Structure 1
């Protein structure tokens, strides 16, 4: 029988003498009301819970491949070409195509970045060509206006 302790907690029964029986064995021990179960043994951190000695990815899964650096460079150069220097669009297209070939060969990640680099790079090239066309038309118009005012027409 369990008796309440001075602090109001329940005290486990006193051990029985060898003449009256040693009590339950650990294999068939069940916690009684008010008793705590024995602590659960967890594996140390970094080891799998099933007891196998190898950690890492489960069977059938490979670790993710790193992102291709050339694909990232293509994307960054394409953004720079779009917003500041349209002449860099050609470099972005070249880097994007080369990185897509490399990604198909090695299985790395970054195909989306490379494709975005190619598309945005072509947009940068097109924007640069439109600016060049605009400048030719603009300066052609100015030269025409200057010639018409100097000849007196």
Structure 2
């Protein structure tokens, strides 16, 4: 009969290896395909770190982030472009932003803030266009009023 080593009697088993039925040899982790860790360039299964082991205690496994709605991003970009080039393009941004918010409510994607910012900046651009048009109209109206009033006195 084989005598056991006196130093190993009081040691707890390793938490990373499970003894197999063949006499204390660690078995391969069944959670990893084929019993081997993933090869370089491959990803481990979801919820596990490389090597196939569960995350250590105290560490949370976070779900993958939801994608950002592309129409919301387009609305935000168009609204910024409208402020610096042609403020009437802000109407396109308002349209895209409203459609994006409806789609976000339906699908649960991220980007509601971008869509809302696109709508607000789009309306600001349209408002600036209206204000600019009123200022120009008032300027030329005042100019023509002054020209007509000075020409009728002579």
Aligned length: 119
Residue segments in structure 1 that go unaligned for 5+ positions in a row: 1-20, 31-39, 52-56
Q: TM-score, normalised by structure 2?
A: 0.63
Show the 5 A alignment for 1:1-153: 24=5, 27-28=8-9, 44=37, 46=44, 48=48, 49-50=53-54, 62-152=63-153
TM-score by length of 1: 0.63
Could you tell me how far 1:27 is from its partner in structure 2? 4.5
Shift of 1:22: 7.2
Shift of 1:80: 1.5
SS in 2 for 1:63: coil
1:62/1:50 CA distance change after superposition, 3 Å = closer
Displacement of 1:88 in angstroms is 0.9
Unaligned runs of 5+ in 2: 18-35, 39-43
Deviation of 1:149 (Å): 3.0
Separation of aligned partners in 1, 2:116 and 2:92? 14
Alpha-carbon displacement from aligned partner over 1:83-111 (angstroms, at most 9, x marks no partner)? 22110111111100000000111111100
1:50 to 1:86, Cα distance in 2 relative to 1, 3 A = closer
- C-alpha separation between the residues in 1 aligned to 2:7 and 2:65? 46
> Highest Rg: 1 or 2?
1
- Aligned CA RMSD, in angstroms, stands at 3.3
